[in-house]
Amino acid sequence: MILSTPTRRSEIAAGLRASLAAGLGMFPLGIAFGLLVVQAGLPWWMAPALSVAAFAGSLELLLIGMLTSGASLVAIAATTFFVNFRHVFYALSFPLASVRGAVARAYSVYGLIDEAYAVTAASPTGWTGPRLVAMQLAFQAYWVGGGLVGVAVAAALPLRIEGLEFALCALFVTLTLDACRTRRQVPSVLLAAASFSVAVVATPDAVVFVALTVFAASLLVRFFATKLMARVSGRRAEMES
């Protein structure tokens, strides 16, 4: 029996299909992002520009408030680093090795967003370079397209829509609820809650920055502590055997 080798076209089609479920959630959130850009008084082109320069939905929504409030470049850079710091841990199990070519691999690193990681984590095997990159390109198309639709809707509306600023908070609430569904993520949720509590008590004027800093440091400590414990357990098992 001869097994047929998947063609490049079939792999791209598989990547597009894999993006549909999460993409249907990204598109309306992108619309909210486009609406927020216009209602915040920023030029319409900031929506696609941010979606290309900083392809990270939660960060982009956060940047709108920082740009309109006149935040310093240092504050914006620090916030960007800590908000996206979780991607460092994503890279440890992301199937980047399946991507061939410097340009394609660079884009795959750039396009490593929460949704891309979630899809690959749910199905960790069978990924090829064309399938992975096609999925990531589709995700960015959903997000940029939604943002452009939001910009167009905002330009057509005669009145301002109140409450869209809650989109970022709603996004994080949803991500937190998803994390709580598995016991494996409960320690991360508890660390986040503890980090926020420390920031509220210690630095009420810089809660977000300090909480993110403490949370990132806590994740690093937990990561290296887990590695150390695994090594110690392995050595004990070897000695007992």
User: 0.75 exceeded by the pTM?
Assistant: no
pLDDT recorded at residue 1: 41
pLDDT recorded at residue 168: 59
Query: Residue 167's closest CA among 19, 67, 35?
Result: 35
Reported confidence tier of residue 3, pLDDT bands at 50, 70, 90 = very low
Average pLDDT score over residue span 71-100: 81
Q: pLDDT tens across 47-68, in order?
A: 899 888 888 877 887 788 788 8
Instruction: Report the range out of 28-32, 85-89, 140-144, 185-189 with the highest average pLDDT.
Output: 140-144
The SS3 assignment for 56 reads coil
Helix residue ranges, H only, 54-100: 57-68, 73-83, 87-90
For the beta carbon of residue 137, count every other beta carbon within 10 angstroms: 17
Q: pLDDT tens across 165-183, in order?
A: 666 566 667 666 666 666 6
